[in-house]
Amino acid sequence: MQKYKKIHIWEFPPTLTFVRLNNRFRLNFFNKLIRKVGSRQKLLNLINKASLKYDIKRNHSPLNLYSWIKGQKFDRGKNRTINIPLWVLIESSKILSNNKYKEIIHRIEKNIEYYTSWGNANPVKKTKLPLYLTPEMVSVIFHFLGDGHLGKKRVTASYRQMNKQGLNNFLQKLKNIFGDFNYSKSEFKDGRLNIPKIIADFYKYYFKLPNTNTFEAFVPNNIKNLDKEFLIAGLAAFIVDEAHIKEVITIYSKNKKLITDIRDIAIKLNYLSFPISKKYAYGKFDCYRFNISSKSFKKFYLDLQKLSAKFSTCTLVQKQDRLINRIQTISSV
């Protein structure tokens, strides 16, 4: 992983990320903060002042601070777990730092038990922090553009794939990248994986992703301009979701901007790609599509082999054998 950029917890969306620190570290951290500034009220005043940087328009109360320190609060007859907003940890580290902010925030990262989104959102446990900006991480974006979506208010981010091998492969990608999380086994059996909100929030924030809805999605330039192995991983992921492999690889979408972006990536990778055309079904427009020529199959396969040697999930999964069989058929002619 040495060649790939590290992504630290402080690069997550600061107002949407909530962190659970282990008890000993959390109590020690806040005790040091209070001793440094003089009192809990003075610490709270500094935190509320810093909140303006994040466009937070309400002041936090002494009860909020007490709950962050204790990691819980008593509410309606029950103890509720309370996690700390990431922005609070960032700003508190600056207060405590004495020009050692990075050292402190790194220690925080090492003592995270889990991170999550607001409310009762599904947490990511056994975290793999820091993350790494790898082709595997980028390939997930193309799954979102294919058979997934990043969610919106009251709509959970999810991925749908009726092929169990393909669905398991996507789940393994997320676990490889982020860590462990719970998911509905019954929905998974029906071909659907609901994705923890914090993972969707991370992708939208870190990669500045646009809407991934069917008719509005596109591949932003910051993704299209990544190195070759990232684009190979992305193209393969999209083919798993939105393509047929026969005499040619036919890639399709109802979104012309998106299919144009995918074709641009294939061309950038030097795969012979034919112009985009319209497909009709029963006399009505069905989708846009383009073909990658069989002349590029062997090159594509060799590129995938090299990539999957490093990232085993970055393949054509259930469609890999189709590509191999087509290459063997062509070679025997």
Cross-strand partners of 131: 7
Report DSSP letters for 28-54, one per residue: HHHHHHHHHHSSHHHHHHHHHHHGGGG
Helices (H) and strands (E) in the chain, counts: 14, 15
204-213 own/partner pairs: CB under 8 Å, 24+ apart: 204/13, 204/150, 205/12, 205/13, 205/16, 206/7, 206/11, 206/12, 207/141, 209/141, 209/144, 209/150, 211/150, 212/144, 212/145, 212/148, 212/149, 212/150, 213/149
Residue 85: HSE in the Cβ half-sphere, 13 Å Cα cutoff: 18
In the chain, the amino acid numbered 73 is K
pLDDT band at residue 149, thresholds of 50, 70 and 90? confident
How far is the CA of 132 from the CAs of 18, 103, 178, 284, 298, in angstroms?
20, 20, 9, 45, 29
pLDDT digits (tens, 9 = 90+) for 72-127: 987 777 888 999 999 999 999 999 987 788 899 999 999 999 999 998 899 999 99
Q: What percent of the chain has pLDDT over 90?
A: 86
CA distance 136 to 1: 12
Which token pair is 130? 């820091």
Residues 15, 201 contacting (CB under 8 angstroms):
no
Residue whose token pair is 């069917």 = 214
Closest CA to 191 of 154, 166, 172: 166
Which token pair is 35? 């001793």
Instruction: Identify the helix (H) or strand (E) that includes residue 242.
Output: helix 228-242
Which token pair is 144? 């979102």
Residue 17 CB partners (closer than 8 Å, separation 6+): 9, 85, 86, 115, 116, 117, 198, 201, 202
Residue 155 has pLDDT above 80, yes or no: no
Which token pair is 173? 């990608």
pLDDT digits (tens, 9 = 90+) for 292-308: 999 999 999 999 999 99
CATH number for the domain running over 134-332:
3.10.28.10
* Per-residue model confidence (pLDDT) at position 39: 96
Residues 158, 194 contacting (CB under 8 angstroms):
yes
pLDDT band at residue 333, thresholds of 50, 70 and 90? low
CA distance 174 to 189: 18
pTM for the full predicted model: 0.95
Torsion angle of alpha carbons 310, 314, 319, 325, nearest 10°?
-30
Cross-strand partners of 273: 292
Residue 282 has pLDDT above 70, yes or no: yes
pLDDT digits (tens, 9 = 90+) for 226-235: 999 999 999 9
pLDDT digits (tens, 9 = 90+) for 177-214: 999 999 999 999 999 999 999 999 999 999 999 876 76
- Start and end residues for every CATH 3.10.28.10 domain found in the chain: 134-332
